[in-house]
Amino acid sequence: MLNKLNNATTGNLIIVSAPSAAGKTTLVTEVLRRDPRLRPSISYTSRPPRGGEVDGRDYHFVSCERFRELIDAGELLEWALVHGNYYGTGRQPIVDLCAAGFDVVLTIDVQGEEQVRRFFPEAVSVFILPPSFGTLIERITCRGEIDPGDLKVRMSNATVEVAMYSRFDYLIINDRLDEAVDDLAAIIHSSRCRRERRSVVAEQILQTFADASRSYSKLTT
Ligand code: 5GP
C-alpha cells in the first residue's frame, strides 16, 4: 500500500513535529490556507476537546476503548501515547488523499514521525523549534486552560522532544510567524520539485524527444 504512494503521480506526506505550544498548529493552518494542493490529516485522539475545538475538524475525539479498537483493526498508520493520551493517524484517509494527488500534512509527535518514516521513507519531515524555552512557557501558559500537572508533563516532554530535531530533514525556528510560514511553504514547494517525484513527467518529456528524433531520422534518410 505504501509503495503505491511512492509514485510521482500521487501526493506526498509532510510530517510536522514540535513540542507543545511551539506554534505548529497556527503555522500549519496558515500554510494549508495558502496552498490548495495541501490537505491536513485529522488525527484521532482520546484527549477531551479544548474550548473551541471541533470534532472532525481539529481531531476525531474518541474514547480510549474506541482508540484501542482502531489499533486492533489496523486502521492507524501510526499511533502514540502523548502526554498521557492516545493520538493516531487514520490510514485510509491518507491513502485516499495521496491517491487523489494531494500532499498531506501530518502534525504528529516525534514517536509518530519515526513510525511513518519507517513505512514511508519518502515522507518529508520538518521540526519546529521555538526560539527559547522561555518562549515556549509563555505560549503554553497563554492558552490558559492547562492545569499545573499537565504543564509539568508537557514541559518535561518538550525537553526530550527538542533533542530529536537532528533526525528531521528540515528545521524551522518559529520566532516570527510570517517567516516560519514562508519557510514551511518553501520546504513543501521544493519537495515537489525533487527529481524522483517528477520522474513520470520527465519520462513523458523524454518520450517527445525520442518520437521527434525518430521522425527526424526518417526525414533525413
Ligand atoms: P495537543 O494535545 O496539544 O493537541 O497535541 C499533543 C501532541 O500530540 C502534539 O505534539 C501533537 O503533534 C501530537 N499529535 C497530534 N496528533 C497526533 C497523531 O495523530 N499521532 C501522534 N503520534 N501524535 C499526534
C-alpha distance from residue 205 to each of 8, 101, 198, 211 (Å): 14, 20, 11, 10
If one looks up domain 2-216 in CATH, what number appears? Answer: 3.40.50.300
Would you say residue 170 has pLDDT above 80? yes
137 against 98, higher pLDDT: 98
Q: Which of ligand 1's atoms lies nearest the C-alpha of 16? A: 12
Q: Give the mean pLDDT of the chain.
A: 91
| Coil, strand or helix at 124 | strand
pLDDT, residue 139, reads 84
pTM: 0.90
Mean pLDDT in residue range 124-148: 86
User: 3-state class of 2 per DSSP?
Assistant: helix
Counting ligand 1 atoms within 8 A of each CB, the residue from 87, 110, 154, 155 with the most, and so the one to mutate, is 87
Q: What is the percent of the chain where pLDDT is above 90?
A: 75
| Res 5: pLDDT | 43
Q: Is 111 in the pocket of ligand 1 (CB under 6 A)?
A: yes
Proportion of the chain above pLDDT 70, given as a percent? 94
Q: What is the pLDDT of residues 1-42, one digit of tens each?
A: 444 444 456 899 999 999 988 889 999 999 999 999 999 999
Does 108 sit in the ligand 1 pocket, CB within 6 Å?
Answer: yes
Q: Give distance in angstroms: CA of 122 to centre of ligand 1.
A: 21
pLDDT tens-digit profile of 182-193? 999 999 999 999
Burial per residue of 154-167, b for 16 or more beta-carbon CB atoms within 10 angstroms, e otherwise: bbebbeebbebbee
Least confident of 53-62, 121-130, 133-142, 188-197: 133-142
Q: Is the CB of 82 under 6 A from ligand 1?
A: yes
- Could you tell me whether strands 38-40 and 103-107 are parallel, antiparallel, or unpaired per DSSP bridges? parallel
In this prediction, residue 137 carries a pLDDT of 85
